[in-house]
Structure 1
Amino acid sequence: MKRLEGRGRVDRSAPLKFSFDGREYTGLRGDTLASALLANGVDVVGTSVYRGRPRGISAAGLEDPGALVQVQRGGGSEPMLRATEVELFNGLCAEGLAGRGRLDPEPDRALYDRLYAHCDVLVIGGGPAGLAAADVAAATGARVMLAESWCELGGDLLDGPQVIDGSPALDWVAGVAARLQAASEAQVLCRATAIGVYDAGYVLIAERRTDHLDQEPPLGVSRERLWHVRAKRVVLAAGSLERPIAFAGNDRPGVMLAGAARAYVERWGVAPGTRAVVFTGNDSGYDAAASLAGAGITVAAVVDPRPDGDLPALPAGSEHLTGSMVRSAVGESHVTGAEVGSGRVVVCDLLAVSGGWSPAVHLFSQAGGSVRWDARVGGFVPDRAPAEMIAVGSCAGTHALDGCLAEGAAGG
């Protein structure tokens, strides 16, 4: 087992039985299938379509490209699900895929429904910027809806200790959630993903209602609900996506986004490796290195292509390879080392990479907004927005926590 003591938001008093590729395992309430597999030492979840290359878990959310599984549920099966998004439930049965799934030939007997809603302010995203926006809007008495794709609020505040107004950030999250619950005109939807933004504040939201339950849902309760929302103002707080880095073997199991490695440690209490190399060109990689080291994982080296200078501090005992890069990941079925620019191989079983963060502008663009290149961010950021929409927080290219909170409050 690779479970870390004293880490994570999982319920250690609630073990869950599940199977993967015909083998039985035990996870915890609050795990995803991916975190439970990592906790059990399973790091290969499938193979590539044509060459049969092993595929591991490289992210912690919707950005994972290779950890695709088929899940048995309610007498049927569903293909092409990301293990990083499947919430663990008791009795879950899944298998890895070679890039292609199998459609269930039997008809889907689950219930699906739709609802229509109108609101003054729709906030897409339940991270710090989105929560700040919803909190301010609800305080004015406006009709507020907040849609968060994850099962709980907080965004990246769930992935490490941060402070807001002198208190732990998660205390602030709990306070905002309580105020929204108490507000008569506010509605919070978790497990709800905005999938389309159209003219005049018209938004489609897909809510997953029962897939996380151990038992079959009660009669008449829909598995999924499609919300048709008409909002006077849409606050887009969809966050940003960490970029991978291109090098030979970067698809090998054991290569993982640095933010994902940190999330597995802090959110799920799982060690994604025992000896890590962090390859980063931005400061967030150092946060990941600190989390790994704080959990007892050896950080052998931090590789940074930037020159030595005003860079964050390293964990004790870590080597700092500045002005360098990772040329390739060494190993066959799993990473065993990282070859750096000099040709030297640094031994590791986890290669955590961070190529920076790209704002999640897809909904902004779909709504008709234009984007522009921001060299500081290293990606496209929202520029001219539709009249009824505003982008805030890291979705707008602002990554500092205080900036996200300020933009969210102003947008609400």
Structure 2
Amino acid sequence: MNTGFDVERIRKDFPVLSRELSGGRPLVYLDSGNSAQKPTQVIDVMREHLAMHYSNVGRAMHALGAESTEAYENARDKVAAFIGAPSREEVVFTKNASEALNLVAYGFGNPTNDDPRFRLGPGDEIVISEMEHHSNIVPWQLLAQRTGATLRWFSVTDEGRLDLSNLEELVTERTKIVSIVHQSNVLGTVNPVAEVLARVRQVGALMMLDASQSVPHQQVDVAALGVDFLAFTGHKVVGPSGIGVLWGRGELLEAMPPFMGGGEMIEAVWMDHSTYAPAPHKFEAGTPPIVEAIGLGAAVDYLSAIGMDAIVQHERELTGYALGALREVPGLRVIGPESLDRRGGTVSFTLEGIHPHDVGQILDDNFGVAVRVGHHCARPLHLRFGIPATTRASFYLYNTPAEIDALVRGLHHVQKVFA
């Protein structure tokens, strides 16, 4: 394993990992793709702000207001640096990645937006993929219904890769935006952004990435990626829930209409019209998730101190170990790439003749192993593979090979129960 990576020291930062479940079972948390656990460093920062510095932001002229506003905007600076954003004004705080994706979809076909890049109607096309989370499907379905545009999608190969064989036929001069996942929340697949983006640029379209599963697990640099928009969520980045991020190119954010109206997103208001603050504030109507944003800032500080390269290497070794160990379980089928090439630390699988809900329940009740079961908000992908659900184990910086061993022991037990 990664000799420079002290996973036992890291585990001590996460209070929940010391929990014993009923019957004295240690917690084996293999569900970070759903939501990551929180280190003391994040919990303490949020508690301190609530206890000693809390006030609304951008409004109050007193000391607490100034402290709270400074901490909130410092969090924006930290996030911008973490994802390589050229400007802090390109980082919009939302309540989650779903809101960030909806925000961008709202900017297309909007009668208040006369920028030709965002004009959308019959004859225009939106392109997504078959491996998307529902958060990157439903907003585009709604947009197509609202505007009369056509929704199209990349298919997925049997190996769990994006099928680019018809890239030029799928992404054409009719395409206005391509929005795909950076790393699949089911398959673990890391998509070939550069290849898709090259075609997107050829036809003059825009491109968005759902990076909810990539930002926590690899070094993501929006400038290097070259896309136009990127969304991710705080609760998967060892931060709190209730906070997400939309990054967008500054000139595109300025061209987009506000997503919601309210306090602090305005420049001036009259009874018959309003003018709006520049981005990012025109997209942050009302009291924002202040403490959550500050917690997200602490989370990216935590990950940066460890080093994303070290996290990537640790997870890669864990994933290789898991793929090898799971091959020894009879009747187990991995859904997704079975090699480490362009894949992250998420492994979804089925057990022949056993429903994933039963698998998850027995793992939890008998071994304290927490995995996710179901379609993982990616039902079309499961339909593509002809299955109703999978069991998903997802790894993070605090997981160990011993926990994977516990998973495998549990799966052997599940098979004995149903033998």
TM-score by length of 1: 0.25
Task: Kindly indicate which of the two structures has a greater share of residues assigned to strand.
Answer: 1
Bigger fraction of residues in helix: 2
